[in-house]
Each structure stands twice: as C-alpha cells, then as structure tokens.
C-alpha cells in the first residue's frame, strides 16, 4: 500500500429524528439553544421524513465508496457535527497504515468558520502520527465549474447561484469566502454563457448577529420586482442534497417564489455523480502528488 489514505469530511446529518437535539447541541458547541429554535429544527427534519433513518447520510457514503474505487486508495468518512466523527475517521486511517492523510471537505470554498474548523478537528486527531495534506479549497476546479455549467447551460431562466450564509463579520476579518463563491459563480456563468444571473445567500441561522446577504427569500422579491418570471437555483456552496437544499430551497424558496408569481426550479445536485467523483479524485491526486490515471 502507498501509505496515502483519504479522510473525506462532511457537515453530517442526524441519523434519525431523536438525534436532532444532540446534533444541534454539537453545532452550537455549548452555547445556549432557544427551545423554539430546537422545535423549529426538529420540525424541519421531520418534514424531510428522517423519523427512523436519514437517506442524506447515504449520499456521503456513496460518495466515499465511489471515490475509494476511483482512487484505489482507502477513503474514510468523518463528519464535523455527527458520527462517524472526523476523529474516528483519522483513527481508522491510521489503523489502515496511513503515513500521509489527505483531508478533503465536501464543501468547495474556504472560510475560517467552515473549512478551517474541519482542519482543526482533523489536525488535532492526527497529531504527529502521520503527515497531513489538507485541501483548503476547490471551488474554481475546472471539472466542478464544468459540471455546474452543464446543469445551467441553455436555460431561459434567470440563474441564482447560492451558498450558505455566514456571519457578516467575516468580511471585516478578510475572510475569502465571499470572493471565492463569487468567483465560482462567475466561472460557471461564463462557461455556460449565461446572460442573466445573480448571487444570493441561503440558510442563515438565528444567532442574533448580522449574516451575509442578500438572503434568497428577499432576493426573489427583488427579482420579481425587476420583472423576472422564471428562476433556476444553482447552489455552488453545497454539493449534495441535504436539509439546506431540500428544505430551504425546495420548500421555503419554492413557496416564496409561488407567492411572488415566480416559477422556481433548481439544478440536480452533484451528489455522487461520476463527474463529481472525478473532480474529487483529481483534487486528491494533486494534493498527494499522485499520478493521473492512464
Ligand atoms: O442535511 C443536514 O442534515 C445537514 C445540513 C447542513 C449543511 C450545512 C452546511 C454549512 N453550515 C455552515 C455554517 C453554519 C453556521 C451555523 C450553522 C447552523 C446549522 C444548523 C443546522 C445546519 N447548520 Fe450549517 N449546515 C447544515 C445544517 N451552519 C441544522 C443549526 C440550525 C440552524 O441554525 O438553522 C450557525 C451555528 C451557530 O448556531 O452558531 C455558521 C456552512 C456550511 C457549508 C459548508 C459545509 O458544508 O461545511 C458554512 C450541509
């Protein structure tokens, strides 16, 4: 064996509805939780139908298995907020004989509040027991841009690129998150030759501080006022179907669009599409300086 092992990281999702309080507590990291926010979150997960099992985590598992087959290297999954934890994945990688661990997050754009947190967990777990090569960003990766461009090319709708919002204070801290998101959006729009597009955030949390905007629900109102009648949502900051897609876009944004007289659809998420697996494999190979397949 080459000594290279991949730890593939994702946000994580509760396995079943009864896990939601513990999952939310993990996200809050010990900070207080308002009961109404927990009730709201349980209701949102219930609407996804995860009473006894959560199909969303299966997407991550399929992605892991496909990446392992594509790379012919061991790949272990580690979740930032659920099980298996990032630390569990690190232990399994070391037990598999890892001398070099390549850390890859299933989120394309760097922020000190997102990717850096994954790195902290992985680095703490690995310690000095293996070399760590960590992929910080891959949002401008040619294959990723191409994959998204293929999904919006030829549409007559106004394309709205979206990503998870973050507290607005990150801009004053010089965080590159917003610039990287806009770069991906621009690259996809150019590649697909989209004339009419914009960017908005989604999935803001009720933490009491200002978050990056505009939020998609407000943005849809602006688009309707501008005479737009058809919108195609293209998330660029997420790569899989999960709560933020199925609830925030497919339910809340669709409902708001309906109230505004807008037709709203969204692209099929990359999930474990073979083209997506090739993108992820290419990123890992580059980070590990492994040869490309013949
Ligand atoms: O499908 C699922 O079950 C999990 C969906 C999920 C993804 C996801 C991705 C990101 N988040 C990011 C930032 C924040 C910040 C807070 C925050 C809070 C939540 C809550 C849930 C949740 N996030 Fe999330 N996020 C997902 C789910 N997220 C549930 C808690 C309820 C709520 O606030 O709505 C605020 C934390 C706090 O309270 O202090 C900040 C970012 C991403 C995209 C990058 C990544 O995937 O890591 C950034 C998927």
Q: What is the DSSP letter of 75?
A: E
Q: % helix / strand / coil in the chain, to the nearest 5? A: 45, 15, 35
**Residue 242 Cα: closest atom of ligand 1:** 1
Which stretches within the chain are classed as H helix? 20-28, 35-47, 55-71, 86-95, 115-126, 142-152, 169-172, 177-192, 216-225, 243-246, 254-260, 274-288
Task: Determine the residue of 43, 47, 203 to mutate for testing ligand 1's pocket, defined as the one with the most ligand atoms within 8 A of the Cβ atom.
Answer: 203
Nearest to 54 by CA among 88, 107, 81, 18: 18
197 pairs with which residues across the strands?
159
Distance CA 180, CA 232 (A): 21
Q: How many CB atoms lie within 10 A of CB 69?
A: 12
Cβ of 27 below 6 Å from ligand 1: yes
Sign of the four-CA dihedral 106, 155, 275, 54 = positive
202 pairs with which residues across the strands?
164
pLDDT tens-digit map of 127-185:
999 999 999 999 999 999 999 999 999 999 999 999 999 999 999 999 999 999 999 99
Cβ neighbours for 190, distance < 8 A, ≥ 6 positions apart: none
Residue 279 CA to ligand 1 center (angstroms) comes to 24
pLDDT tens-digit map of 53-62:
888 889 999 9
**Over its length of 294 residues, how does the chain's per-residue pLDDT go in tens digits?**
679 999 999 999 999 999 999 999 999 999 999 999 999 999 999 998 888 888 888 999 999 999 999 999 999 999 999 999 999 999 999 999 999 999 999 999 999 999 999 999 999 999 999 999 999 999 999 999 999 999 999 999 999 999 999 999 999 999 999 999 999 999 999 999 998 999 999 999 988 999 999 999 999 999 999 999 999 999 999 999 989 999 999 999 999 999 999 999 999 999 999 999 999 999 999 999 887 887
Cβ of 60 below 6 Å from ligand 1: no
């Amino acid at each position: 064996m080459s000594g290279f092992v991949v730890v593939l990281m994702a946000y994580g999702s509760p396995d079943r509805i009864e896990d939601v309080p513990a999952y939310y507590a993990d996200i809050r990291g010990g900070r207080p939780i308002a009961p109404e926010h927990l009730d709201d979150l349980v209701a949102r997960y219930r609407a996804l139908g995860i009473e006894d099992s959560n199909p969303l985590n299966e997407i991550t598992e399929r992605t892991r298995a496909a990446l392992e087959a594509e790379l012919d290297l061991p790949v272990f999954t580690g979740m930032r907020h659920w099980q298996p934890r990032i630390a569990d994945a690190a232990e399994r990688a070391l037990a598999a004989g890892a001398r070099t661990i390549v850390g890859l997050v299933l989120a394309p754009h760097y922020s000190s509040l997102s990717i850096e947190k994954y790195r902290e967990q992985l680095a703490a777990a690995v310690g000095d027991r293996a070399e760590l090569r960590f992929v910080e960003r891959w949002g401008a990766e040619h294959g990723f841009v191409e994959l998204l461009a293929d999904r919006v090319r030829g549409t007559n709708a106004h394309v709205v690129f979206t990503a998870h919002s973050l507290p607005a204070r990150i801009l004053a801290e010089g965080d590159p998150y917003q610039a990287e998101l806009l770069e991906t959006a621009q690259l996809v729009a150019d590649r697909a030759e989209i004339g009419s597009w914009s960017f908005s955030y989604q999935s803001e949390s009720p933490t009491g501080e200002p978050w990056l905007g505009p939020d998609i629900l407000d943005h849809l109102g602006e688009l309707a006022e501008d005479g737009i009648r058809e919108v195609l949502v293209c998330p660029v900051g997420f790569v899989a179907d999960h709560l933020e897609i199925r609830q925030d876009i497919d339910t809340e944004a669709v409902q708001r669009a309906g109230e505004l007289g807008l037709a709203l659809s969204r692209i099929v998420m990359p999930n474990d599409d073979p083209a997506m697996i090739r993108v992820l494999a290419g990123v890992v190979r580059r980070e590990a300086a492994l040869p490309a397949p013949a």
